[in-house]
Amino acid sequence: MMRRMKFSHTLFALIALCISFGVSPCLAKSSQVNATELSEVATHPAKMDWWLDDKFGLFIHWGPSSVASVEIGWARASHPFDHQGKLELMPDAEYDALYKQFNPVDFDADQLVRTAKAAGMKYLVFTAKHHDGFSNWATELSDYNSMNAPYGRDICKELADAVHKHGLKLGWYYSTRDWSHPDYLVGDNSQYNDYYHGQIRELLTNYGQVDVLWFDHVAGKWSDYRFEELFEMIYELQPQILVNNRAAKFVFRHKAGTPTPELFALTKGDYETPEGKIGNFRVDYPWETCMPMSKGPDGHGGWSYRPEAVTASFEKCAQMLAACVTGGGNMLLNVGPMPSGELRSEELANLKALKPWMQTYGESIYGTRAGPYVSGQWGGACHKGNVIYLHVFEWADGQLSLPTLPRKVLHCEALGGESVSFTQNADALTIRLHESKMRSLRRTFKPTERSLHRVLKLTLEPGADMALIPVEGHVAKQQHGTLVNPMCE
């Protein structure tokens, strides 16, 4: 078994070293794999096209926990069937009563969606229910919901309507973990299965088109769940929906029996979800980094509103997005609205700053695919048609030298209008930023955030297939995670 796994990892590594690029034979000194074989591996179902093109979504963690400025879910003292985490705890009764004060009178779903859209976000994922069990919609299956808070409104409905009105895609975050539900993992768990299947049915029936179902972890054994029935219902209600990889995630951890290969394939969903970090370079399987824009001062949590959290700079947000896109992934950037319903000023300022950034650099994000260069500390690349975009994070004396491209570079410009020059020979492609400009950039940005981030647009002579090009000193790591079938372990 071990041997077979090692082989499959090597195969994945090889696959990741090559992509189909729609241009000419590769001249670069890099591993190459037959493009026909590759295109099969790298093919995703057509229903993923929009998601692969759109790249950037807004994640929203919000609920009554914001009233007490504590971390959503995790601040509740009891976490049945889960670890305790490292956050400040509040007695269950106190946490569970917070909704009685939840009255976000300044919440304006339309405004929030317009802000996200202006920031270049194309989809939105909202915590319909987090681990604490509170439902942000008019569920008929539990009284612990937003209709029974002083606010008395269906927050999911308001967001869904705004998202549809403004042409974004809609996603529900749904935590299968439920630390306040009396039936959760009790007996054969059948009552709880009925409950959460019923809730998913509501969310996929009453809010128009739903594009993403973003599950978040669950404990227990495989036999505690009726996943086949769940997924059948999901696809019946929303045939085009994308489902993340967490519907059964952590079931594996609990020495919980072995799923059939079919069940494993079903519950691994459509994409992986590296959390709080940029996913590793990977072009053979879709992934999305979920990233809180603000982090708890101790480095923990920060998904929901906590006034003491530290918010990343706007430059950092843009760079993280670029790192995801050039690494083959999407980014779901999280905000945690305040109890009033508004965004904290730092998070709002970042979203506003992304608007002009996107106007200049958006073409290097949307509709692109990662490569041909393999990402590293230097930055990364993505491509579209005969154009390659380089997102460069590090410059040595205003200069970047990469292995040459197999096709002639006809033109090189820096998006945003700085002046650049380049040379291309049999070994290297070298790009220089104008020196005086580099000096002024050094003064303007903090090097710790690597804000020398610049986007170069290379226009290439038309051609055929191109393999991925490793950049010396930067090795592409593979993310193993849930792609590894637990049956092989």
Which position among 132, 158, 178, 216 is part of the footprint of ligand GLC (CB under 6 A)? 216
- Closest to ligand GLC by CB, 70 vs 433, is 70
Residues touching ligand GLC: how many (CB under 6 A)? 8
Distance CA 488, CA 350 (A): 44
Smallest distance, ligand GLC to C-beta of residue 335, A: 13
Smallest distance, ligand GLC to C-beta of residue 82, A: 9
Subset of 100-139 contacting ligand GLC (CB under 6 A):
none
What character string, x for contact with ligand GLC (CB under 6 A) and - otherwise, covers 259-278?
----------------x---
Smallest distance, ligand GLC to C-beta of residue 124, A: 14
- Closest to ligand GLC by CB, 82 vs 413, is 82
Residue linked to tokens 């710790």: 448
Does 217 interact with ligand GLC (rule: CB under 6 A)? yes
Smallest distance, ligand GLC to C-beta of residue 459, A: 38
Smallest distance, ligand GLC to C-beta of residue 173, A: 7
- Closest to ligand GLC by CB, 73 vs 376, is 73
Smallest distance, ligand GLC to C-beta of residue 151, A: 21
Smallest distance, ligand GLC to C-beta of residue 84, A: 12
Distance CA 130, CA 152 (A): 19
Which position among 303, 357, 378, 395 is part of the footprint of ligand GLC (CB under 6 A)? 303
- Closest to ligand GLC by CB, 155 vs 452, is 155
Does 347 interact with ligand GLC (rule: CB under 6 A)? no
- Closest to ligand GLC by CB, 129 vs 369, is 129
Smallest distance, ligand GLC to C-beta of residue 252, A: 15
- Closest to ligand GLC by CB, 225 vs 395, is 225
Smallest distance, ligand GLC to C-beta of residue 460, A: 38
Q: What SS3 state is found at 32?
A: coil
- Closest to ligand GLC by CB, 72 vs 460, is 72
What character string, x for contact with ligand GLC (CB under 6 A) and - otherwise, covers 60-99?
-x-----------xx-------------------------
Query: Pairing relation of β-strands 409-414 and 399-403?
Result: unpaired
Smallest distance, ligand GLC to C-beta of residue 247, A: 13
CB 66 within 8 A of CB 336: yes
Cα angle at 443 between 437 and 446, to 5 degrees? 120
Written as one letter, the residue type at 416 is G
Distance CA 271, CA 245 (A): 6
Question: Which residue of this chain has its Cβ atom nearest to ligand GLC in the complex?
Answer: 290
- Closest to ligand GLC by CB, 268 vs 450, is 268
- Closest to ligand GLC by CB, 312 vs 467, is 312
- Closest to ligand GLC by CB, 275 vs 449, is 275
Which run of H or E residues covers position 432? strand 428-433
Which ranges of 182-256 does DSSP label H, i.e. alpha helix?
190-205, 227-237
The token pair that represents 50 in the structure block: 């929009």
153-157: Cβ within 8 A, 24+ apart: 155/62, 155/107, 155/109, 155/126, 156/126, 156/128, 156/203, 156/207, 157/206, 157/207
Subset of 385-424 contacting ligand GLC (CB under 6 A):
none
The token pair that represents 73 in the structure block: 């879910």
The token pair that represents 172 in the structure block: 């529900």
Which run of H or E residues covers position 13? helix 2-16
Smallest distance, ligand GLC to C-beta of residue 298, A: 15
- Closest to ligand GLC by CB, 128 vs 438, is 128
Distance CA 86, CA 336 (A): 19
Residues of 317-343 as b/e, b for ≥16 C-beta within 10 angstroms?
bbbbbbbbbbbbbbbbbbbbbbbebbb
- For 245-368, strand residue ranges (E) read 287-292, 294-295, 310-311, 329-335
Distance CA 314, CA 350 (A): 5
Distance CA 325, CA 341 (A): 30
Distance CA 307, CA 297 (A): 10
Distance CA 353, CA 349 (A): 6
Which position among 149, 200, 243, 290 is part of the footprint of ligand GLC (CB under 6 A)? 290
Subset of 363-392 contacting ligand GLC (CB under 6 A):
none
Does 279 interact with ligand GLC (rule: CB under 6 A)? no
Smallest distance, ligand GLC to C-beta of residue 444, A: 33
- Using CB under 6 A as the criterion, which residues of the chain lie in contact with ligand GLC when the complex forms? 61, 73-74, 216-217, 275, 290, 303
